[in-house]
Amino acid sequence: MNDKPNSGRGQRELRVRVKTAKGRKLSSTLWLERQLNDPYVQKARREGYRGRAAYKILELDDKYGFLKPGARVVDLGCAPGGWCQVAVVRVNALGQNPKKPVGRVLGVDLQEVEPIAGAEIHQLDFLSDDADEKVKSWLGGRADVVMSDMAAASSGHKATDHLRIVALVEAALAFAFDVLEDGGTFVAKVLAGGAENEMQAMLKRNFRKVANVKPPASRSDSSEKFVVAMGYRGREIEGGAGLQDEAE
Protein backbone atom coordinates (compact mmCIF):
# COMPACT_ATOMS: atom_id res chain seq x y z
CA MET A 1 0.00 0.00 0.00
CA ASN A 2 3.01 2.26 0.13
CA ASP A 3 3.37 2.46 -3.62
CA LYS A 4 2.29 5.59 -5.43
CA PRO A 5 -0.39 5.30 -8.11
CA ASN A 6 1.12 4.46 -11.48
CA SER A 7 1.74 7.61 -13.46
CA GLY A 8 1.18 5.75 -16.69
CA ARG A 9 4.74 6.16 -18.01
CA GLY A 10 5.22 3.74 -20.86
CA GLN A 11 1.47 3.36 -21.19
CA ARG A 12 -1.15 5.39 -22.94
CA GLU A 13 -3.08 7.43 -20.39
CA LEU A 14 -6.84 7.37 -20.86
CA ARG A 15 -8.51 10.49 -19.54
CA VAL A 16 -12.21 10.64 -18.84
CA ARG A 17 -13.90 13.81 -19.99
CA VAL A 18 -17.25 14.85 -18.55
CA LYS A 19 -19.77 16.90 -20.48
CA THR A 20 -21.54 19.67 -18.62
CA ALA A 21 -25.10 18.49 -18.09
CA LYS A 22 -28.05 20.83 -18.23
CA GLY A 23 -28.49 22.53 -14.87
CA ARG A 24 -25.03 21.51 -13.60
CA LYS A 25 -22.42 24.18 -12.95
CA LEU A 26 -19.11 24.12 -14.79
CA SER A 27 -17.28 23.92 -11.44
CA SER A 28 -19.21 20.74 -10.58
CA THR A 29 -18.36 19.23 -13.94
CA LEU A 30 -14.66 20.03 -13.49
CA TRP A 31 -14.71 18.53 -9.98
CA LEU A 32 -16.33 15.34 -11.28
CA GLU A 33 -13.81 15.10 -14.11
CA ARG A 34 -10.94 15.52 -11.67
CA GLN A 35 -12.34 12.79 -9.43
CA LEU A 36 -12.77 10.35 -12.30
CA ASN A 37 -9.19 10.92 -13.43
CA ASP A 38 -7.52 11.04 -10.01
CA PRO A 39 -5.21 8.00 -9.62
CA TYR A 40 -5.64 8.04 -5.82
CA VAL A 41 -9.44 7.93 -6.18
CA GLN A 42 -9.11 4.99 -8.53
CA LYS A 43 -6.65 3.23 -6.23
CA ALA A 44 -8.93 3.77 -3.20
CA ARG A 45 -11.77 2.06 -5.05
CA ARG A 46 -9.55 -0.90 -5.94
CA GLU A 47 -8.21 -1.31 -2.41
CA GLY A 48 -11.49 -0.75 -0.59
CA TYR A 49 -10.79 2.58 1.10
CA ARG A 50 -13.64 5.02 1.56
CA GLY A 51 -11.75 7.89 -0.01
CA ARG A 52 -8.42 9.09 -1.37
CA ALA A 53 -7.65 10.74 2.00
CA ALA A 54 -6.67 7.30 3.31
CA TYR A 55 -3.39 7.60 1.43
CA LYS A 56 -2.53 10.83 3.19
CA ILE A 57 -2.48 9.17 6.61
CA LEU A 58 -0.74 6.11 5.13
CA GLU A 59 2.04 8.31 3.77
CA LEU A 60 2.33 10.32 6.98
CA ASP A 61 2.55 7.15 9.07
CA ASP A 62 5.09 5.61 6.68
CA LYS A 63 7.30 8.63 7.36
CA TYR A 64 6.74 9.17 11.10
CA GLY A 65 5.50 5.79 12.41
CA PHE A 66 2.94 6.94 14.97
CA LEU A 67 0.31 4.24 14.27
CA LYS A 68 2.07 1.49 16.16
CA PRO A 69 0.59 -1.93 17.03
CA GLY A 70 -1.22 -1.63 20.35
CA ALA A 71 -1.79 2.13 20.07
CA ARG A 72 -5.07 3.74 21.09
CA VAL A 73 -6.22 6.13 18.38
CA VAL A 74 -8.93 8.80 18.26
CA ASP A 75 -10.02 10.06 14.83
CA LEU A 76 -11.88 13.37 15.08
CA GLY A 77 -14.39 14.07 12.32
CA CYS A 78 -13.82 10.55 11.06
CA ALA A 79 -16.40 10.50 8.21
CA PRO A 80 -16.33 8.82 5.78
CA GLY A 81 -13.88 6.55 7.57
CA GLY A 82 -10.74 6.19 5.45
CA TRP A 83 -8.36 7.22 8.23
CA CYS A 84 -10.02 4.76 10.62
CA GLN A 85 -9.62 1.99 8.05
CA VAL A 86 -5.88 2.65 7.87
CA ALA A 87 -5.50 2.93 11.64
CA VAL A 88 -7.31 -0.40 12.25
CA VAL A 89 -4.70 -2.26 10.23
CA ARG A 90 -1.67 -0.34 11.47
CA VAL A 91 -2.44 -0.65 15.21
CA ASN A 92 -3.60 -4.27 14.84
CA ALA A 93 -7.09 -3.46 16.16
CA LEU A 94 -8.52 -6.70 14.77
CA GLY A 95 -5.70 -8.76 16.28
CA GLN A 96 -4.84 -10.25 12.92
CA ASN A 97 -1.17 -10.40 13.89
CA PRO A 98 -1.11 -12.53 17.07
CA LYS A 99 2.55 -11.65 17.68
CA LYS A 100 1.80 -7.94 18.12
CA PRO A 101 -0.27 -6.05 20.71
CA VAL A 102 -3.86 -5.21 19.83
CA GLY A 103 -4.71 -1.53 19.51
CA ARG A 104 -7.94 0.47 19.66
CA VAL A 105 -9.45 2.82 17.09
CA LEU A 106 -12.21 5.20 18.10
CA GLY A 107 -13.82 7.50 15.55
CA VAL A 108 -16.13 10.40 16.37
CA ASP A 109 -18.16 12.57 14.03
CA LEU A 110 -21.18 14.85 14.08
CA GLN A 111 -22.87 12.67 11.47
CA GLU A 112 -23.60 8.98 11.49
CA VAL A 113 -20.81 6.91 9.94
CA GLU A 114 -21.15 3.45 8.42
CA PRO A 115 -19.57 0.79 10.68
CA ILE A 116 -15.91 -0.05 10.17
CA ALA A 117 -14.57 -3.45 11.18
CA GLY A 118 -12.14 -3.03 14.07
CA ALA A 119 -13.15 0.57 14.83
CA GLU A 120 -15.57 1.91 17.43
CA ILE A 121 -17.58 4.78 15.93
CA HIS A 122 -19.53 7.31 17.98
CA GLN A 123 -21.77 10.17 16.88
CA LEU A 124 -20.41 12.98 19.02
CA ASP A 125 -19.58 16.68 18.90
CA PHE A 126 -15.97 16.76 20.13
CA LEU A 127 -16.49 20.42 21.10
CA SER A 128 -19.06 19.51 23.76
CA ASP A 129 -17.99 20.01 27.37
CA ASP A 130 -17.91 16.33 28.30
CA ALA A 131 -16.51 14.96 25.02
CA ASP A 132 -13.01 14.36 26.39
CA GLU A 133 -14.31 12.44 29.39
CA LYS A 134 -16.57 10.33 27.19
CA VAL A 135 -13.68 9.46 24.88
CA LYS A 136 -11.42 8.49 27.79
CA SER A 137 -14.17 6.30 29.24
CA TRP A 138 -14.74 4.58 25.89
CA LEU A 139 -11.01 4.00 25.49
CA GLY A 140 -10.50 2.95 29.09
CA GLY A 141 -7.74 5.53 29.42
CA ARG A 142 -5.90 8.15 27.43
CA ALA A 143 -5.11 8.05 23.72
CA ASP A 144 -1.72 7.55 22.12
CA VAL A 145 -2.76 9.35 18.92
CA VAL A 146 -5.34 12.04 18.21
CA MET A 147 -5.76 12.75 14.50
CA SER A 148 -7.99 15.00 12.47
CA ASP A 149 -8.63 15.44 8.76
CA MET A 150 -11.42 17.94 9.42
CA ALA A 151 -11.96 21.04 7.33
CA ALA A 152 -14.48 23.82 7.86
CA ALA A 153 -17.14 24.31 5.20
CA SER A 154 -15.71 26.41 2.38
CA SER A 155 -16.93 29.99 2.07
CA GLY A 156 -15.12 30.59 -1.21
CA HIS A 157 -13.00 33.27 0.45
CA LYS A 158 -9.45 31.99 0.95
CA ALA A 159 -8.54 34.13 3.97
CA THR A 160 -11.80 33.33 5.76
CA ASP A 161 -11.45 29.61 5.08
CA HIS A 162 -7.91 29.67 6.43
CA LEU A 163 -9.01 31.31 9.69
CA ARG A 164 -11.85 28.82 10.06
CA ILE A 165 -9.66 25.76 9.69
CA VAL A 166 -7.04 27.21 12.05
CA ALA A 167 -9.78 27.66 14.66
CA LEU A 168 -10.93 24.08 14.06
CA VAL A 169 -7.42 22.70 14.43
CA GLU A 170 -6.87 24.72 17.61
CA ALA A 171 -10.08 23.19 19.02
CA ALA A 172 -8.85 19.72 18.07
CA LEU A 173 -5.52 20.47 19.73
CA ALA A 174 -7.22 21.60 22.94
CA PHE A 175 -9.13 18.31 22.89
CA ALA A 176 -5.86 16.42 22.35
CA PHE A 177 -4.30 18.13 25.37
CA ASP A 178 -7.09 16.65 27.48
CA VAL A 179 -6.98 13.08 26.18
CA LEU A 180 -3.40 12.40 25.01
CA GLU A 181 -1.08 10.14 26.92
CA ASP A 182 2.39 11.41 27.74
CA GLY A 183 4.52 10.91 24.64
CA GLY A 184 1.44 10.89 22.40
CA THR A 185 1.03 12.22 18.87
CA PHE A 186 -1.28 14.83 17.32
CA VAL A 187 -1.88 14.83 13.56
CA ALA A 188 -4.10 17.38 11.83
CA LYS A 189 -4.81 19.01 8.51
CA VAL A 190 -4.17 22.74 8.26
CA LEU A 191 -4.13 25.25 5.41
CA ALA A 192 -0.99 27.17 4.53
CA GLY A 193 -1.63 30.85 5.12
CA GLY A 194 0.28 32.38 8.01
CA ALA A 195 -2.43 32.82 10.66
CA GLU A 196 -1.36 29.68 12.50
CA ASN A 197 1.78 31.10 14.16
CA GLU A 198 0.30 30.94 17.68
CA MET A 199 -0.82 27.37 17.11
CA GLN A 200 2.65 26.38 15.89
CA ALA A 201 4.19 27.98 18.98
CA MET A 202 1.79 26.05 21.19
CA LEU A 203 2.69 22.80 19.45
CA LYS A 204 6.42 23.38 19.81
CA ARG A 205 5.95 24.20 23.49
CA ASN A 206 4.09 21.01 24.28
CA PHE A 207 5.56 18.40 21.90
CA ARG A 208 9.16 17.29 21.48
CA LYS A 209 9.00 17.19 17.69
CA VAL A 210 6.75 19.16 15.31
CA ALA A 211 6.77 18.65 11.54
CA ASN A 212 4.75 20.35 8.83
CA VAL A 213 4.46 18.25 5.71
CA LYS A 214 2.50 17.90 2.49
CA PRO A 215 2.17 14.18 1.68
CA PRO A 216 2.27 13.08 -1.98
CA ALA A 217 -1.45 12.18 -1.87
CA SER A 218 -2.33 15.81 -1.16
CA ARG A 219 -3.23 17.49 -4.43
CA SER A 220 -0.57 19.89 -5.69
CA ASP A 221 -3.14 22.64 -6.25
CA SER A 222 -4.41 22.39 -2.67
CA SER A 223 -3.12 24.68 0.09
CA GLU A 224 -3.52 21.94 2.68
CA LYS A 225 -0.64 20.60 4.69
CA PHE A 226 -0.46 18.41 7.78
CA VAL A 227 1.10 18.97 11.15
CA VAL A 228 2.57 15.95 12.93
CA ALA A 229 3.40 16.70 16.57
CA MET A 230 5.10 13.86 18.43
CA GLY A 231 6.17 13.33 22.04
CA TYR A 232 3.46 15.11 24.00
CA ARG A 233 4.96 16.56 27.16
CA GLY A 234 2.17 18.87 28.33
CA ARG A 235 1.75 17.24 31.71
CA GLU A 236 5.46 17.66 32.36
CA ILE A 237 4.94 21.45 32.46
CA GLU A 238 3.78 21.81 36.07
CA GLY A 239 0.74 19.67 35.59
CA GLY A 240 -0.22 21.39 32.34
CA ALA A 241 0.04 25.00 33.52
CA GLY A 242 2.14 25.83 30.49
CA LEU A 243 -0.76 24.93 28.25
CA GLN A 244 -2.98 27.52 29.85
CA ASP A 245 -0.27 30.19 29.63
CA GLU A 246 0.13 29.56 25.92
CA ALA A 247 -3.59 29.41 25.20
CA GLU A 248 -4.50 32.64 26.97
Beta strands (DSSP E) in 32-94 are: 72-76
Contacts of 226 by beta carbon, 8 Å cutoff, 6+ apart: 56, 60, 187, 188, 189, 190, 212, 213, 214, 215, 218
As a CATH number, domain 51-247 is 3.40.50.150
Domain boundaries, the chain: 17-47, 51-247
In the residue annotation, 136 being an active-site residue is answered as: no
At 113-168, the pLDDT tens digits run 999 999 999 999 999 999 999 999 999 999 999 999 987 666 666 667 767 788 88
Query: Residue 248: pLDDT above 60?
Result: no
Chain mean position to CA 110: 15
* Residues in the annotated binding site: 81, 83, 109, 125, 149
* Residues in the annotated binding site for S-adenosyl-L-methionine: 81, 83, 109, 125, 149
Question: Choosing from 56, 189, 209, 225, which is the catalytic residue?
Answer: 189
Average pLDDT over residues 208-233: 91
170-208 as b/e: b if 16+ CB within 10 A: bebbebbbbbbbeebbbbbbbbeeeebeebeebbeebbe
